[in-house]
Structure 1
Amino acid sequence: MMIHINLLPVRQEKKREVGRQFLVVVGGAMFITLLGNWLWYDGLASEEKKNAQRIVATEARIAELEKVIGEVDKINARKKDVQNKLAILADLRKQRSGPVRMLDALATAIPKKVWLTQFDEKSNAVKMIGKAASHEDVAEFMRALQSIVWTPRGMGRLIEQKRDAATARVELVGGEGAVEDFPTSAISNFFSRVDLKRAEQKAAAPGGTRTVDFEINMNSNYAI
């Protein structure tokens, strides 16, 4: 006699077990997916918050720098105003001292045997009429006018200035007549464009001395 065993309940139990395992696997996968998504979103939100904080801090820094720049602009404006006022004062000083220095330079440049009889000046243009003992004295006077300069150490005579040289050698007027080298940008000529308009030797009166009548035109520098 054969024994029949009913295996249906066993198969059904196995199916239920497989189903439970499948649900567990699917549930675990969904949980892991949801957890990963939450962590990603949380990290993104945290980074976005940090970026927002950085933006706020940057904007605050920009506002602070703009305030500082505004103060610097005000300081620069005041500085420029002061510089303009100082420049005006310097021009006024030059206008007062310029003619005095120019006449002093002219007196220094005149040789012993040269005499001025007329001196006219208008808008820095100078016309001089005078007498000299000889043509050589007139030439010496013109050379002296061209060489008399103003330096940081005062008035002097230009001795040597080579072409394209950065310095010039000057003999200072007064004292022991020291000779010094100055940057060419630091010296200024009192007179420029010295032009001899005429030089005529006149016959001497009986018992007198022959002289040369001359006329010199030039430009004077009052800005020294």
Structure 2
Amino acid sequence: MTIEINLLPWREQRRLRKTRRFKQGLLLVLLLGLLVGWGISQYEKSMVRAGQARLALIQRETDSLTRDIQEMRNFRQLRERMLKQIDLIGELQSSRPLTIHVLDQLTATLVDGVYYTELARKGSRLELSGVAASNRQVSDQMRALDSSPAFDTPLLSDVQSAEGPAAAKRFHLSVDEHLGDDTQAGAGP
């Protein structure tokens, strides 16, 4: 008696189980791959969002610093203008006694019969216009200015006379202020 054992159904079932396990493993690996791919894409998206947030922060900080730099430039320009104004005011304050001294000397040297109609100052040069009764008074006025320690030699530009011998003489002359130590010593504080 021979016993015949048919191993084919058992082998068939084993092959089906292996195929099923392979398909399940393949499906599991595919799902795991998709899950890892989705996780990596989410990670990359979060990295991009974080990078964009950092760039936005850097841009805001850059804009803020640019505004601060512009404000500093504006403050520096304002400071320079204020320093110039302070220097100008200081210069005016320091030249006030000198100006008063010059005006005192102009009045002290004024000859009888002569009066000034216009006075202009251009730097250290005075431009004087006036009226005198005669040419001699214009000459005397120039000599009086020349003898003053506050002025250098005057320069007569022109003399105009109206018709007639008794007509007033209009003159224009310029004279430099003498800014020596003797002028400032007489100017006082």
Larger radius of gyration: 2
Structure with the largest fraction of helix? 2
Structure with the largest fraction of strand? 1
